[in-house]
Amino acid sequence: MPYGKLIWTFADKQDRVYFIFGLIASATCGLGLPSFVFLFGDIADSFEGGMDPEEILTRITRVSKILTIIGLGVWLGSYLFFAFLTIASERIGLKTKVEYLRSILRQDIAWFDSVNTSELCQRLSTETQSMQRAIGEKIGLVVMAFGMSLSGLFFSFFKGWFYSSLLLAYFPFMLGASTCIGVSLSRGFSANLKAYGQSAGYAEQALNAIKVVFAFGQEETELRNYVKYLSNAKKLGIKTHLFSALATGCFYFALYGYYAYSFFSGSFMIT
């Protein structure tokens, strides 16, 4: 489902106000975080040889005050983005659950013969919770990370554009490694969710009709159905974890390679 449709389908005016203010707060929080790195650099530069101690103290005091102000702004922004987005996601999630159940009840009676009705309760709860997490803190963290990236790029190019351009050339390797991790985790989560839903549906169906199952001696049949989908979930989980471990290893290899590349190129430029 398109993200915009997910957000705006059941959102009223108040929900949209919460959502927009939450995104603004998360972006503001992300913009302020990279400035700490460069302000710490200014503190380190204050300890230059031959400077008067009073002048050093004055420079450190000025930078410390700026750090305190930015820290308070980031603290306030992080609280507001989490609060606004959580409220919006809960309100939209409640309306989504109601419409989800209403659409199920409007189906023709023949539709219920083609689905496992015992799965519907679990799917209604699980899927709406996933939607709420996507609308709530997840999108806030994504926007905050995007703001951190833009702010970090701005500060780095402002301080030294040539060196930043050299380091930016390594970014495609980092992007490829992180994309592999995201794809592996999302596919594994979807497959596991489907397998566990089917298994839970069979279990709930058997327990609801336990007298009929016991009367016809179908305990072993129901157990095989339950174990079959659990085995599928286990196999999918093993494959997902193996691929995720490989992708994570590649990511950390690229990350430490990035550090090595940056230190080498920086030392070369200084020399």
Tokens read off for 113: 């013969």
Distance CA 224, CA 216 (A): 16
Residue 153 or 51, more confident: 153
Average pLDDT of the segment spanning 6-12: 76
> Rounded to an integer, what distance in angstroms lies between the CA atom of residue 52 and that of residue 63?
17
60-84: buried (b, 16+ CB within 10 Å) or exposed (e) per residue? eeebeeebeebeeebeebbebbbeb
* pTM of structure: 0.65
**What is the predicted pLDDT for the residue at 243?**
77
Please, which residues have CB within 8 angstroms of residue 48's CB and are 6 or more apart in sequence?
none
Question: What is the average pLDDT value for the chain, to the nearest integer?
Answer: 82
For 19, residues 6+ apart whose C-beta sits below 8 A from its C-beta are 7, 11, 84, 85, 88, 135
The conformation of residue 10, written as its DSSP 8-state character, comes to S
* pLDDT digit string, tens, across residues 245-260: 887 888 888 889 888 9
Residue 57 is predicted with a pLDDT of 81
Asked if 195 contacts 232 with a C-beta cutoff of 8 angstroms, the reply is yes
Q: What distance in Å separates the CA atoms of residue 163 and residue 42, rounded to the nearest whole number?
A: 18
- Two tokens, residue 262: 């940056």
